[in-house]
Chains A and B, each alone.
Chain A
Amino acid sequence: DGGITQSPKYLFRKEGQNVTLSCEQNLNHDAMYWYRQDPGQGLRLIYYSQIVNDFQKGDIAEGYSVSREKKESFPLTVTSAQKNPTAFYLCASTVTSLSYNEQFFGPGTRLTVL
């Protein structure tokens, strides 16, 4: 079955530690996205990537980093520079960002920084 997987579902880290969230898709989609969702809030775009080896900052990129070495994978690193990292992180993909296509979302990773 095609889809997007994110792991782990729940993640706990100590303050000051970097942590990497995994996102893998087997939909053969070109574009991938990372969003952050806080309680009672909408989704805010962190980073997105249109093609392999290319990515752009979204609205709240500070304190985060990404890589896109393979089409299927778009990992997100939450660095110690992110002031308030506790949130629900959602990865999404779409066939291409150049024309309208719906975004497919993974199940999310809930990160708690202690």
Chain B
Amino acid sequence: GQSLEQPSEVTAVEGAIVQINCTYQTSGFYGLSWYQQHDGGAPTFLSYNGLDGLEETGRFSSFLSRSDSYGYLLLQELQMKDSASYFCAVRDYSGAGSYQLTFGKGTKLSVIP
């Protein structure tokens, strides 16, 4: 089975930097994704790490260490609109030549003035 652990809540100040960690235990691992979801809305894709290292997309960066079964999402220059839930998701093999995502329970980020 799969299990992912991430903090349930994080609070940070506007303009600051915040890091959301994700640790996972999986029987098979093919990559780690991050999704953002505003209250009542649909998740939207932020980033994907298939290999170890840092991926940067604007203010957002994501890091993966497969040997440590660990990754994180880094948000810089926080804005009020970044207040949302952030989910890490492991891509694993589901058989019959296809892959699926297993999601963590999410981290609710509150950005305060």
Contacts and interface: CB of A to CB of B under 8 A. Distances in A.
Interface of A: 31, 33, 35, 40-45, 48, 50, 56, 58-59, 90, 97-100, 102-108
Interface in B63-109: 87, 89, 91, 94-106
Interface residues of B, number: 28
Nearest to A6: B42
The SS class assigned to the A binding surface is loop
A56 B103 contact: no
Contacts of A106: 42
B42 A90 contact: yes
B31 interface: yes
Contacts of B113: none
A102 B62 CA distance: 15
Given A43-B43, A102-B33, A102-B45, A97 B106 contact: no
Nearest to A4: B42
Nearest to A106: B42
A45 B100 contact: yes
B99 A100 contact: yes
Contacts of B98: 31, 48, 50, 56, 97-98
7 contacts: A40-B105, A45-B101, A48-B94, A50-B97, A59-B102, A103-B45, A105-B44
B58 interface: no
Contact of A97 (B8, B33, B89, B99): B99
A105 B96 contact: no
Nearest to B95: A56
A98 B44 contact: no
A105 B98 CA distance: 19
B94 A98 contact: no
Contacts of A43: 43, 87, 89, 101, 103
